[in-house]
Amino acid sequence: MRALLASLTDHPIAMLRGIAELRGVSLATNNRADAAAQLAALLTEPATTVAALAACSPAAQSAWSALHPAGGRMKARIFARTSGGEIRAIGPGRLERETVWREPENPAEELWYRGLIYRAFADLGDGPLE
């Protein structure tokens, strides 16, 4: 499984700001790598995950629960179809302008913008997939 810091470092600073806002944290820097490290330290605390999940809708909590039997890893298309919906591809400029993390379109986006799920490529039996 991909490391949390590596996943956060891939995000634009606007996404990191969104995660921080939803988690009630002020980032101490505008440097993406430093902001990712600050968030990674916060997100590894179990109490912050419990609080973030409690702030989610019942549908997002259900989507989160669907990941447990899969060991926390699920093919993106299966997760989207069965639990969460698609995470829209939004560039950093639009993300910053529209602050889309404040109004997610579906359970997957709720989890995504709270820093509870991440994208990665893995071979889960039928070649590398997201």
**pLDDT for position 129:** 67
List, for residues 11-56, the tens digit of each pLDDT value: 999 999 999 999 998 998 999 999 999 999 999 999 999 999 999 9
- Backbone phi, then psi, for 128, in 5-degree steps? -65, 125
List, for residues 46-92, the tens digit of each pLDDT value: 999 999 999 999 999 999 998 888 888 888 888 889 887 899 999 99
Q: Are 63 and 108 in contact (CB under 8 A)?
A: yes
Please state the pTM of the whole predicted model: 0.88
Q: Are 18 and 112 in contact (CB under 8 A)?
A: no
**pLDDT for position 37:** 95
Write the CB contacts of 9 (distance below 8 Å, at least 6 apart in sequence).
32, 33, 36
Domain positions in the chain are: 4-118
Q: How far apart are CA 15 and CA 128, in angstroms?
A: 25
Q: How far apart are CA 42 and CA 97, in angstroms?
A: 25
Q: How far apart are CA 8 and CA 113, in angstroms?
A: 11
Q: How far apart are CA 75 and CA 15, in angstroms?
A: 22
Q: Are 53 and 116 in contact (CB under 8 A)?
A: yes
For residue 129, give the 3-state DSSP assignment: strand
**pLDDT for position 112:** 93
